[in-house]
Chain A
């Protein structure tokens, strides 16, 4: 309650912290979990669906948004900030296409978003954007990409990552389970994303939303039924693994 809000927005503290940027990263943790996985021929984005109020239209609460035909992103944090960033990124994608007659590379649009975020950590009167984003897609060269940005404006490429609430738990799960076998096929990569989310999502498959991009194909959002099918398959595999374990111990 008696916290000292005596740090001006974009001024360093004596020990070198930018407190507003660090607090913005706390805002990211208030959003529900999002996970991104880079497979061999596929990129997967999975998010924990926020519980929607009874009278609210579910279709207007989306965490996964397409930025262009070949790039999409998932975010965690302040909804309104995300809307602004996504709009700017979408305009930039089209502007780039019209100017140089080539679609943006995933790295280009990630750098654009990260630069935008960084500007807001160094401007007077503004506050940092309170969102982290996972940006996935395929470049013209056919290589799958996954990038993550955070409120400070840094961006890095990842093989798999998670953002939002319980991101640490999901990341630890991915560190243990992201193997060459796990991403060998498209289905395996999708299952890995769902398994990672099931570690932290409270009521199972019906609270998970999934999107994939395959090489040279547009973004595909999974329906609830399709997600359920994968969840059932995962549960079956789990049961069989447990049966084998108990047989071995006997």
Chain B
């Protein structure tokens, strides 16, 4: 139990499970009306994650990685990570879109990947034309907790192959970084890594220290890979600017020297120019801050 400033008593979430008293109360009120069931089913349908094939826009019958063989999978989650891959990796080769994920939740609705504006949320999957076993995912939409498992199932399947390497890139606000120091003194943006047991290569930055807590879709992917013994590494950029920002995107640059990305990146100065252009086209006018 915790008391807020205004004197209300708020029940703090407890991971040990609910107390016995509560379960008895719940059972009494649990008799479900058919309307409730109907509403619940409708909501579940609305929140379904669908993976669509690019050309035909029909749903994939099997999971993405069961349909296509994969040796390397790079996932960018969040707009800064997506901008990094767009500028540095996608411009250094020919990538073909194989599909996209469509989902809806209270925070976002994914848009069609054919006519995207920079502010719209989307989730696209691509593979390299010259080496189709190299996959890339750009996910700038928020995947809610109840949708994360569906997303994993539709992408990885229920029995994934172990001979692939996963690299995840994402950003988090620096206030999430647990430290004794004040956030103002941290050199943000900075990179931290978290990897699964089977990932043997060295990380290009220090590992995330205890308490090494990760959230949302990146955490779901990492947990999934740990359970299925797939080598995976998450590169987490702690930044103080959560919107699209040049300095935050450039903080991902050390990853370009890792084994998984080295072969995919060709022209870094050109990529930097492309990134700058991306930034200027995305500047949203706002009068709140001066």
Given A8-B4, A8-B6, A9-B5, check contact A3 B289 (CB 8 Å): no
Q: Please, could you name 26 A-B residue pairs with CB atoms under 8 Å apart, sorted by A?
A: A1-B215, A1-B216, A2-B145, A2-B216, A9-B5, A10-B5, A11-B4, A15-B180, A22-B183, A23-B175, A26-B183, A29-B240, A30-B241, A31-B289, A32-B290, A50-B290, A51-B283, A63-B290, A77-B289, A78-B288, A78-B289, A78-B290, A79-B287, A79-B290, A165-B241, A166-B247
Cβ contact within 8 Å between A26 and B240: yes
> Chain A nearest CB: distance from B2 CB in Å?
7
Smallest Cβ-Cβ distance to B242: which chain A residue:
A26
Tier of interface size on chain A: 35 or more
Q: Looking at the complex, which one of A22, A27, A76, A78 makes contact with B184 (CB distance below 8 Å)? A: A22
Q: How many whole Å from A152's CB to the nearest CB in chain B?
A: 10
List residues of chain A with CB under 8 Å of any chain B CB: 1-3, 6, 8-11, 15, 17, 19, 22-23, 25-27, 29-32, 50-51, 53, 61, 63, 75-80, 82, 124, 165-166
**B227 in the interface (beta carbon within 8 A):** no
Other A-B pairs beyond A11-B5, A22-B175, 4, CB < 8 Å: A8-B5, A19-B175, A51-B283, A76-B290
B142 / chain A contacts, CB cutoff of 8 Å = 1
| CB-CB contacts below 8 Å: B1-24 with A | 2, 4-6, 10
Q: Which residue of B lies closest to A202 (CB)?
A: B280
CA distance A19 to B184 in the complex (A): 12
Residues of B within 8 A of A31 (CB): 289-290
Measured in the bound complex, the distance between the Cα atoms of B4 and A10 in whole Å is 10
Identity of the chain A residue whose Cβ is nearest the Cβ of B180 in the assembled complex: A15
State how many angstroms separate the Cβ of A104 from the closest Cβ of chain B.
24
Report the Cα distance A26→B173, complex, angstroms. 10
Chain A interface main SS type:
loop
Nearest Cβ on chain A to B233's Cβ, whole angstroms: 22
Q: In the complex, how many residues of chain B place their beta carbon closer than 8 angstroms to a beta carbon of chain A?
A: 26
A2 to chain B minimum Cβ distance, whole angstroms, is: 6
Sorted nearest first, the 7 A-B pairs with minimum C-beta distance are A8-B5, A30-B289, A79-B290, A31-B289, A8-B4, A53-B285, A11-B5
A1 to B287, CA, bound (A): 24
> What residues of B have a CB within 8 angstroms of the CB of A17 in the complex?
182
Q: How far is the CB of A139 from chain B (nearest CB, A)?
A: 28
Nearest residue in B to A9 (C-beta to C-beta)?
Answer: B5
Taking a contact as CB atoms closer than 8 A, the residue among B6, B180, B184, B290 that contacts A25 in the complex is B184
A29's partner among B145, B215, B241, B287 (CB-CB below 8 A) is: B241
Report B-chain residues with C-beta under 8 Å of the C-beta of A61. 287, 290
Cα A53 to Cα B285 with chains together (Å): 7
B172-183 toward A: CB 8 Å interface, digit per residue (1/0)? Answer: 010110001011
Nearest to B12 among chain A residues (CB) is: A6
- Asked if A124 meets B290 with Cβ closer than 8 Å, knowing A2-B215, A26-B240, the reply is no
> C-beta contact mask, B130-170 vs A, less than 8 Å → 1, else 0?
00000000000010010000000000000000000000000
B24 to chain A, nearest CB (A): 28
- With a cutoff of 8 Å between Cβ atoms, the chain B residues found around residue A3 in the complex are 173, 175-176
Indicate which residue in B4, B107, B184 contacts A1 across the interface (CB closer than 8 Å). B107
Residue pair A27, B289 in contact (C-beta under 8 Å) = yes
Count chain A CB atoms within 10 A of each CB in B2, B216, B288 and give the residue with the most.
B288
Contact (Cβ within 8 A) A124 B289: no
Return B168 CB to nearest CB of chain A, in Å: 16
CA distance A19 to B173 in the complex (A): 14
B240-A22 in contact (CB<8A)? no
The interface residues of chain A lying within 8 Å CB-to-CB of B240 are 26, 29
| A79 in contact with B288 (CB, 8 Å) | yes
Contact A6 B10 (CB under 8 A): yes
Closest A residue by C-beta to B245: A165
